[in-house]
Structure 1
Amino acid sequence: MMVNAPVSAAAEIVDSTTHYHTVKIGGVDVFYREAGPANAPVVLLLHGFPTSSHMFRNLIPALADRYHVIAPDYPGFGESAAPDHTKFAYTFANYADLVDGLLGRLGANNYAMYVMDYGAPVGYRLALKHPERVTALIVQNGNAYEEGLKEFWDPIKAYWADGSAAHRTALSFLVTPAITKFQYTDGVADVSRIDPDNWGHDQVLLDRPGNKDIQLDLFHDYGSNVPLYPKFQAFFRERKPPMLIVWGKNDKIFPADGAGPYLRDLPGAELHLLDTGHFALEDKLDEMVPLIRDFLDRKVVTN
């Protein structure tokens, strides 16, 4: 007769199912994905343009066995509300406040952050608000140094300079299907690894009535992040958060010129330049997950 042996606590299966929620923060419906044990160390995933927490759909289950993973959509992106741009301030400061409010609602008092593209200034603004709460940083094509703002940014800088209607209109190409697809495929050696549902998913949301103005407001407000770069850098030097940099080196939007300067302020940061483009998780997940898990397991205390 066979007797089933008791299952040890170490052998218990952890539920890594992703759950999808919407809560009202600051009067706005904010959508977020959540997975992993509620009492585990928090890993906050902050997405870039023009996508949403959808960009983390494959990473979340790869971390959720040991970490409490939270991935919000900013207003105007993904499944979060998209109030009219004349009635809601689409600014990075506002985004940081809303993410802060969400974390407070969820009782997340300490967190590692994965920041990418727009997620970098959102996350770094959050770090300035609560420097003691940041346990580690994973940086993927997210800028904090002026060296990283190359030719791609010239028309956007022109808009920062005068805020003119002409320069605003000139940026409309950035929300077109061709550019959305470009962000996923440019710099990728094997495009067959990129799911075309990505740009199809993003473009439908970009094409919602009023969303172009939301994005144009954000292009202008991105200029407000640059004067904060010295403060972001001071945070790195003073708080010395463990940092893993996993950067698509072929990205024309946030080129590798922006990756190396992090080492000036955090010489101990771990830098990996990957042979891919802007959305590195799409074709380099198999390389990135072991790097990310190893980093978190070494640098963030787990239960």
Structure 2
Amino acid sequence: MKASLCEQLDIRGLRYNVRHWGSADAPAVFFLHGWMDTSATFQFLVDALAHDWHVIAPDWRGYGASEWLGRPYWFPDYYGDLDALLAHYSPDRPARLVGHSMGAAISSAYSGVRPDRVAQLVMMDFLGLTATAEDDAPAQLAGWLDNLRKEQPLRGYADHDAFARRLQLANPRLTGAKAAFLARHVSRTLPDGQVTMAGDPWHKVPSPVRYQAGDVMAAWRGIKAPVLMMLADKGYVAERFADAPAEIERRLACFADMRRVTITDSGHNLQHDQPEQVAAAIEAFLARD
């Protein structure tokens, strides 16, 4: 496996952990992980890259070794965090962004409102959430208020082996070796010795504000950078819009300059399931310096 190094820095008043692979003078590309995940999720993908890249992969706030709030998160803070990260690592030139799931949500909206800061964008198995109804808004706000009065417990597993088995249960495509690696690198060990996913449980509290697909699509229309849309044939996009293929096309039409690639025999975590396919598609798309 290719070795990574981590550094800690202050991002908007929080301690951020940022993982690096490759030489610092190689072409830089930012890898942005998804919900309830960490930067280490990209290890298999980095190992499959044929060329030398400087991969810069933060743990988002509340994940991995970055600082956890222990209270509700406000999604727009991720746009601010990305803006600050790019100002730190790529202040003078537009950046290459590769986002998986939530990482694609953050990077794609950001690319639309800061189009001059992004050179190329790769979106991995994300095309927005399903639409919500106005009538859902009161219950969503009430649920958020109810959660403020509760503790948000961490789910623990007896040891890393037990956590690895749970990961394989969720994704049967994971080999034993990959599950064992992830169990140790996307987890935290609790004081009692149990192992838990390295994500603040407050992330699991739904937002008090309902998802507005139209707002997200409006941001996508502002993207100037070329976009690689990478969809897994058995991923969340395929499942979420299984009965609405026209909605997939409507959302894809928001991107002015887009290339679409399907990753075969893959679930949502395509960086685990088919890292070789994903790496080949990314390197065929990204321009080197």
TM-score above 0.5, yes or no: yes
Cα displacement (A) at 1:51: 1.0
- Secondary structure of 1:49's counterpart equals coil
Output one character per residue of 1:18-69: Cα deviation in whole Å (capped at 9) or x when no partner.
3211101111110111233445443111101211101112323544944332
Q: Is it true that 1:285 corresponds to 2:275 in the alignment?
A: yes
Displacement, 1:72?
Answer: 0.4
TM-aligned CA deviation for residue 146 of structure 1: 3.4
Distance 1:61 1:252, change over 3 A: closer
Superposition map of 1:127-276 within 5 A: 127-144=111-128, 146=130, 160=140, 162-164=142-144, 185-186=169-170, 188=172, 194-199=178-183, 201-202=185-186, 204=188, 207=196, 211-212=200-201, 214-217=202-205, 219-220=206-207, 223-224=210-211, 226=213, 228-236=215-223, 239=224, 241-252=225-236, 255=239, 257=241, 260-266=249-255, 268-276=258-266
CA contact (8 A) 2:109 2:216 kept: no
Deviation at 1:194, TM superposition (A): 4.5
- 8 Å Cα contact 1:46/1:53 also seen in 2: yes
1:102-128: CA deviation from partner (whole Å, max 9, x where unpaired): 221223431121111211222123224
Q: Whole-Å Cα distance in 1 between the matches of residues 199 and 40 of structure 2?
A: 21
Q: d(CA) in 1 for partners of 2:229 and 2:165?
A: 24
Whole-Å separation in 1 of the counterparts to 2:8 and 2:222: 31
Q: CA RMSD in A?
A: 4.0
**Is the 1:25–1:101 contact (alpha carbons within 8 Å) kept by the matching residues of 2?**
yes
Q: Select the residue among 264, 278, 294 that pairs with 2:284.
A: 294
Q: Which residue of 1 aligns with 2:81?
A: 98
Q: Partner letter of residue 91 of structure 1?
A: W
User: Which letter maps to 1:22?
Assistant: Q
- Confirm or deny: 8 A CA contact 1:138 1:245 kept in the other structure: yes
The alpha carbon displacement at 1:92 in A equals 2.0
Same amino acid, percent of matched pairs: 20
The offset of 1:243, in angstroms, is 2.1
Specify the code of the residue in structure 2 equivalent to 1:163.
G
Is residue 123–residue 227 contact of structure 2 (8 Å, CA) maintained in 1? yes
SS in 1 for 2:67: coil
**Structure showing greater Rg:** 1
Which blocks of at least 5 consecutive residues in structure 1 are unaligned? 1-15, 150-155
Query: How many Å separate the matches in 2 of 1:192 and 1:292?
Result: 26
User: Is the partner of 2:57 in helix, strand or coil?
Assistant: strand
Q: CA deviation at 1:80?
A: 0.4
TM-score after normalising by structure 1? 0.70
| Structure 1 pair 79–255 and aligned structure 2 pair: CA distance change class (3 A) | same
Larger relative helix fraction: 1
Deviations 1:161-206 (CA, angstroms, capped at 9, x unpaired):
5435568899x79968799977765565575574244256545379
**Partner residue of 2:192?**
none
Aligned CA distance change for structure 1 residues 270 and 251 (closer, same or farther; 3 Å) = closer
- TM-score scaled by length of structure 2: 0.73
Cα separation, 2, equivalents of 1:157 and 1:173: 26
Aligned residue-pair number: 268
Corresponding residue number in structure 1 for 2:8? 22
Q: 67, 77, 80: which one pairs with 2:53?
A: 67
Tell me the alpha carbon deviations over residues 64-119 of structure 1, each in whole angstroms, 9 at most, x when there is no partner: 9443321101111001011332xxx6222112211211221223431121111211
Unmatched segments (≥5 aa) in structure 2 = 190-194, 242-246
CA deviations over 1:243-286 (Å, ceiling 9, x no partner): 22222232358736386555323374222142221211112112
For the 8 Å contact 1:113–1:134, the answer to whether it is kept is yes
